[in-house]
Structure 1
Amino acid sequence: MMVLLAIGFILLHVVLVMLIPAHAIVVSYAFLIAAPLFASAFAIRRCMIEGFALSQGWILAALSLIFWTLGMVFSARQDIFLSNSNQVPGDSMLLYILFGVPISYATAVVGVYSRSRLQRGIDAVLVASLGYLYFALTFSWVTLRGSPDEFSTRMVALMFDVENAFLAITTLIRFFAADMLRQRHFFGTLAGLTLLYAITAAYYNHHVALDVSPNIGSAYDGIVDVPFLAFALMTLREPSRIPKAINPPPGLVRFVRIGSPLLLSLAVLTISLLLLHRRFNLGVAGILVAVFGYGLRSILSQVRQIEMEDELRSDRTALAELALRDSLTGVGNRRAFEEAIEKEWRVALRTQQSISLLLVDIDFFKQYNDRYGHLAGDKCIRDIAAALHAALQRPADLVARYGGEEFAVILPGTSSSGAREVATRVCKLVRQLNIPHDNSPHGRATVSVGTSTVTPSEGTLPHELIAATDRALYDAKNNGRNRVEQGIHTH
């Protein structure tokens, strides 16, 4: 239905111009102003549907169309009210050129993530420079009164060709490299507009305006409606799944996403180079803006890349630490213990220093859980883990939750007497917690500790130390609990 309305709009435009030749210029301008206005309204409608994520792109598209509409309004003012017969009125030409600025900005920034405020500021400076340089380039060939000669008119037409080709190419690149449905829909719609506009503008500017019908008001004017109405129709389509056959390769997606912000610098550089032979100083200034803008963006991108690598490294470290941390007590877990005992065993074997191990078990813990509940049991485990940690006096010492209510303490470079001293301190600190335990003969929570000390030799393994310490713990529990028992200790 909407397609038929669009076709009807174009046919009505052509028919009315042919039927009312005396007022053809007024009729044609009415249609030429209405078509981009409709397109901008449809862009705003799509912006409201898409939400904030892609609203920037649709707003920029609408702004481009409004610039073009204003250009047509100024052109109508020249032809209808001022009777200016010049083919290239300067003020409207400026607005037609500004039509490309928001589109260039959209291709550079829409869908490009993690941009800092400073990067957005650089983009704003670049787009402002681009607009001003377009302005300067336009008025290097025309004035507000129009074009002085046919050569200048053809140069302005050629300049429009370059601009339109640039817009079509950049939007097509963004379309083919888009890997998200809504971005693909946006850039596909924008590419449809810019491609159709580049073709129709080239045909109209070089064939119609310069050769066939210099003034608005011919049947040829109907072709100018086509890109705008096609854009409006494309905004009505809902994003569809990307066929696998045209699914962009990840490498292309990353390349375009990283390189897209540089399109602004490229556009500024291109216009500056075109300006050099007309306004040298301004052209050089534009080149400097493009180069410094590109350089600052590259530096900021590198800084952001380093920050992301640092964040990733920090996250990996945090995850590694989390993987070795007991979630209930905050001390090391069984995996941390196993890695640490292997490491310290190798060090002790190489240096021929002793290594001591403590296994600590909470006395009558099952009865404590039955009497006070699991929440109280969890708190008891946490408090005793904190007491164990407080009993250690060296950074190299490690306490880990060995399993359930049992803990392990690794004491590198510690003699049997030193291990017994630490074990005794552990028992004392736990008793000082005064955690009530009515089902214990001691009336409060206590621990039993088994210790062993060994100087590793070739052929011995850590599990031998663990087994000896476990037997010592068994002895401590059998001998009345709330005590320390020592197993093997070799030097």
Structure 2
Amino acid sequence: MWASIVYLGTQALCIKLFPSHAMGVSYPFMILAPWLALAVCWWHARDCAQRTRLLWTLVCTALVVWGIGILFAAWEDLSFYNPMAGADFSDFLFFVYGMPILLAISSPTEGEHNSAFVWLDAVQVVMTALLIYVAAFSVLPFTPRNGHTLSISRLLVIYNFEGFALAAVATLRLLAYTNDGEERRFYQILCSYLWIYASLAALYNHITISTNEHTGLYDLFTVLPFAVLSILAVTLFSEREETVQSARRKPLTLFIDNASPIFFTITLLVLAAALVREHYYIGMSGIAVALAVYAIRATMLQSRYMHAQQELQVARDKMEAMSLTDSLTGVANRRSFDRTLEVEWRRSVRRKSPLSLLMIDVDFFKNLNDKYGHPYGDSCLIEIANALQTALPRSSDLLARYGGEEFGIILSATDARGADTVAFRVREFVRALHLKNETPIGQFVTISIGVATYEFPHEGASADLIQSADEALYRAKRHGRDRIEFAVPATITRESAATSAKVR
């Protein structure tokens, strides 16, 4: 801060001491100011995150353009001073200075930065620079000037409009940040600088026009914004704490943040529209470029959105599959079992088709765990689940781990005879594994099965089917295990009630 005060004081003192050479002594201070501000900003921004450093790079680029512009202004004024002649090349550079700043303001807050967007922005920058040149000199670049340049009064109006428009848009952009952080501090600094720059530039232009004088103490107005920028960069960059921005933001904040990338496109469109009357083809070319850039950007964003939606759906499907799968055995879990049984029950009622359920329990599983250890027990469950899955005759049949060492099999459109066949088949598949488990009934792992069938379910609920199959399972265990019990629920019709309980 003190360095800035000394710098401004020295400039004021030199102007006062050498009033007849005020322009000559003032220009070195005005030329040096943007370069010093650039050095301060870059020095303090070099340790920022990559995205924030990119924003500061754009601001530093703007300072370079402005610094070159003031060099041309000094050369023009000191060599052939004619302040009211109209637009000069330095004025073109002062206009172009705002484009890197507008790019920084238009940069989106979040999301990956596609290289195609960089090229689109580059196209807009080139087209905007071309339109600014045509607006200032009424000719295309690299062609002889016809002497018809932008008048000084209109030039100053456009200067003021550009300055205040940048400040207003930057302030609007600042609203997209609700928590503190590097990017918010960047926009705080940028907004403060732009408002001071726009206000002092408008005051300087007014004094220049009204007094018809080109230099004086009001030359300090040219240096002061860069001094403020340096001070703010030093002050705010000393706060290195980074706060993560909240994921939940207000709708207005989200709208501003998502709309910011088209700020530059709108600027190009407005500038091109303003030139249509005097330079029809150039103006229409600018409008075409603006609309094309907007259409390409919108299409790319829509494609990215659709791709993100597809990826999100795939992730949801994976999460859904994981939530419905038993982590140990890889078959369906209890949640999937309950959901599928309810669906099949309703379908069976609607179509009046049979529905069968097998409840399976591994015999003496506690003895297996106690004697051989839990890792062996887990290995047995995995092999049993694979055998049960292999034994199912149809892909539509659901095998689920019901809990612990108990499994359930849902057989849609399967009557009592079909369920009995499947039960016998799965029991034999498990027997064929020859998993070691010495028990009172043998040396290998066996299973007990309870089977329940609803031939024509007109009343009751899926819970009744589970209860009937469970009762049949416990009856099989009471009767010696390694067997199949078939139970008929009490809610079936009389025609089906004639079916007797079968035991194997």
Structure 1 residue identity aligned to 2:133: F
Identify the residue that residue 353 of structure 2 maps to in structure 1.
Answer: 353
Secondary structure at 1:409 match in 2: strand
1:56 to 30, 34, 54: 54
Which stretch shows the higher mean deviation, 435-444 or 165-174?
A: 435-444
Q: Extract unaligned runs of 5+ from structure 1.
A: 243-247
- Given that 1:90 and 1:146 are in contact with CA atoms closer than 8 Å, whether structure 2 keeps it comes out as no
Identify the residue that residue 16 of structure 1 maps to in structure 2.
Answer: 14
After TM superposition, give the deviation of residue 61 of structure 1 in Å: 1.0
Structure 1 residue identity aligned to 2:81: S
- Given that 2:454 and 2:465 are in contact with CA atoms closer than 8 Å, whether structure 1 keeps it comes out as yes
- Given that 2:453 and 2:465 are in contact with CA atoms closer than 8 Å, whether structure 1 keeps it comes out as yes
After TM superposition, give the deviation of residue 151 of structure 1 in Å: 6.8
Query: Taking structure 2 as the reference length, what is the TM-score of the superposition?
Result: 0.87
Structure 2 residue identity aligned to 1:86: N
- Given that 1:172 and 1:191 are in contact with CA atoms closer than 8 Å, whether structure 2 keeps it comes out as yes
Q: How does 1:174-253 map to 2 (within 5 A)?
A: 174-182=173-181, 183-208=183-208, 210-212=209-211, 214-216=213-215, 218-235=216-233, 236-238=235-237, 250-253=250-253
Secondary structure at 1:468 match in 2: helix
Structure 1 residue identity aligned to 2:107: V
Distance 2:328 2:286 in 1: 62
- Given that 1:476 and 1:485 are in contact with CA atoms closer than 8 Å, whether structure 2 keeps it comes out as yes
Answer yes or no: is 1:45 the counterpart of 2:46. Answer: no
**Cα distance change, pair 44–110 in 1 and its aligned pair in 2 (3 A):** farther
Distance 2:141 2:423 in 1: 94
Answer yes or no: is 1:454 the counterpart of 2:454. Answer: yes
- Given that 2:131 and 2:272 are in contact with CA atoms closer than 8 Å, whether structure 1 keeps it comes out as yes
Per-residue CA deviation, residues 390-423 of structure 1 (Å, 9 max, x unaligned), is 2223233111111001110010111222112212
Structure 2 residue identity aligned to 1:363: D
- Given that 2:87 and 2:149 are in contact with CA atoms closer than 8 Å, whether structure 1 keeps it comes out as no
Structure 2 residue identity aligned to 1:99: Y
After TM superposition, give the deviation of residue 149 of structure 1 in Å: 8.2
Distance 1:149 1:454 in 2: 95
Identify the residue that residue 282 of structure 1 maps to in structure 2.
Answer: 282
**Cα distance change, pair 156–89 in 1 and its aligned pair in 2 (3 A):** closer
- Given that 2:331 and 2:401 are in contact with CA atoms closer than 8 Å, whether structure 1 keeps it comes out as yes
Identify the residue that residue 383 of structure 1 maps to in structure 2.
Answer: 383
Which stretch shows the higher mean deviation, 95-104 or 47-56?
A: 47-56
- Given that 1:371 and 1:439 are in contact with CA atoms closer than 8 Å, whether structure 2 keeps it comes out as no
- Given that 1:342 and 1:462 are in contact with CA atoms closer than 8 Å, whether structure 2 keeps it comes out as yes
Structure 2 residue identity aligned to 1:123: D
Identify the residue that residue 486 of structure 2 maps to in structure 1.
Answer: 486
Answer yes or no: is 1:75 the counterpart of 2:38. Answer: no
- Given that 1:11 and 1:222 are in contact with CA atoms closer than 8 Å, whether structure 2 keeps it comes out as no
- Given that 1:364 and 1:440 are in contact with CA atoms closer than 8 Å, whether structure 2 keeps it comes out as no
After TM superposition, give the deviation of residue 256 of structure 1 in Å: 0.8
Per-residue CA deviation, residues 117-153 of structure 1 (Å, 9 max, x unaligned), is 4334323322332233223323328999999589722
**Cα distance change, pair 273–463 in 1 and its aligned pair in 2 (3 A):** closer
- Given that 2:452 and 2:472 are in contact with CA atoms closer than 8 Å, whether structure 1 keeps it comes out as yes
Identify the residue that residue 259 of structure 2 maps to in structure 1.
Answer: 259
Q: How does 1:90-239 map to 2 (within 5 A)?
A: 90-140=88-138, 152-182=151-181, 183-208=183-208, 210-212=209-211, 214-216=213-215, 218-235=216-233, 236-238=235-237
After TM superposition, give the deviation of residue 288 of structure 1 in Å: 0.7
- Given that 1:399 and 1:410 are in contact with CA atoms closer than 8 Å, whether structure 2 keeps it comes out as yes
Distance 2:150 2:116 in 1: 43
Secondary structure at 1:282 match in 2: helix
Structure 2 residue identity aligned to 1:265: T
After TM superposition, give the deviation of residue 472 of structure 1 in Å: 2.1
Secondary structure at 1:300 match in 2: helix
1:33 to 9, 31, 34: 31
- Given that 1:90 and 1:142 are in contact with CA atoms closer than 8 Å, whether structure 2 keeps it comes out as no
Which stretch shows the higher mean deviation, 355-364 or 272-281?
A: 272-281
Secondary structure at 1:463 match in 2: helix
**Cα distance change, pair 148–159 in 1 and its aligned pair in 2 (3 A):** farther
Which stretch shows the higher mean deviation, 441-450 or 63-72?
A: 441-450
Distance 2:326 2:333 in 1: 5
**Cα distance change, pair 150–406 in 1 and its aligned pair in 2 (3 A):** closer
Answer yes or no: is 1:268 the counterpart of 2:288. Answer: no
Which stretch shows the higher mean deviation, 63-72 or 197-206?
A: 197-206
**Cα distance change, pair 99–439 in 1 and its aligned pair in 2 (3 A):** farther
- Given that 2:400 and 2:407 are in contact with CA atoms closer than 8 Å, whether structure 1 keeps it comes out as yes
Identify the residue that residue 6 of structure 1 maps to in structure 2.
Answer: 4
**Cα distance change, pair 226–110 in 1 and its aligned pair in 2 (3 A):** farther
- Given that 2:359 and 2:407 are in contact with CA atoms closer than 8 Å, whether structure 1 keeps it comes out as yes
Secondary structure at 1:263 match in 2: helix
Structure 2 residue identity aligned to 1:325: T
**Cα distance change, pair 127–268 in 1 and its aligned pair in 2 (3 A):** same
After TM superposition, give the deviation of residue 241 of structure 1 in Å: 11
% identity of equivalent residues: 32
Larger RCO, structures 1/2 (Cα 8 Å, 6+ apart): 1
Structure 1 residue identity aligned to 2:53: S
After TM superposition, give the deviation of residue 103 of structure 1 in Å: 0.8
Identify the residue that residue 343 of structure 2 maps to in structure 1.
Answer: 343
Distance 1:20 1:258 in 2: 53
Identify the residue that residue 499 of structure 2 maps to in structure 1.
Answer: none
Secondary structure at 1:260 match in 2: helix
Structure 1 residue identity aligned to 2:276: L
- Given that 1:89 and 1:143 are in contact with CA atoms closer than 8 Å, whether structure 2 keeps it comes out as no
Distance 2:328 2:6 in 1: 73
- Given that 2:66 and 2:94 are in contact with CA atoms closer than 8 Å, whether structure 1 keeps it comes out as yes
**Cα distance change, pair 150–449 in 1 and its aligned pair in 2 (3 A):** closer
Identify the residue that residue 245 of structure 1 maps to in structure 2.
Answer: none
Per-residue CA deviation, residues 440-482 of structure 1 (Å, 9 max, x unaligned), is 7533333222212122443322222222212222233334433
1:84 to 58, 75, 80: 80
Q: How does 1:260-339 map to 2 (within 5 A)?
A: 260-339=260-339
**Cα distance change, pair 167–367 in 1 and its aligned pair in 2 (3 A):** same
Identify the residue that residue 363 of structure 1 maps to in structure 2.
Answer: 363
Distance 2:454 2:128 in 1: 77
Identify the residue that residue 245 of structure 2 maps to in structure 1.
Answer: none
After TM superposition, give the deviation of residue 284 of structure 1 in Å: 0.8
Query: Taking structure 1 as the reference length, what is the TM-score of the superposition?
Result: 0.89
Per-residue CA deviation, residues 234-260 of structure 1 (Å, 9 max, x unaligned), is 222156999xxxxx9712111111211
- Given that 2:354 and 2:415 are in contact with CA atoms closer than 8 Å, whether structure 1 keeps it comes out as yes
Secondary structure at 1:437 match in 2: strand
- Given that 2:135 and 2:150 are in contact with CA atoms closer than 8 Å, whether structure 1 keeps it comes out as no
After TM superposition, give the deviation of residue 31 of structure 1 in Å: 1.3
Structure 1 residue identity aligned to 2:224: V
**Cα distance change, pair 147–162 in 1 and its aligned pair in 2 (3 A):** farther
After TM superposition, give the deviation of residue 304 of structure 1 in Å: 3.2
- Given that 1:57 and 1:110 are in contact with CA atoms closer than 8 Å, whether structure 2 keeps it comes out as no
After TM superposition, give the deviation of residue 23 of structure 1 in Å: 4.9
- Given that 2:134 and 2:140 are in contact with CA atoms closer than 8 Å, whether structure 1 keeps it comes out as no
Distance 1:453 1:28 in 2: 100
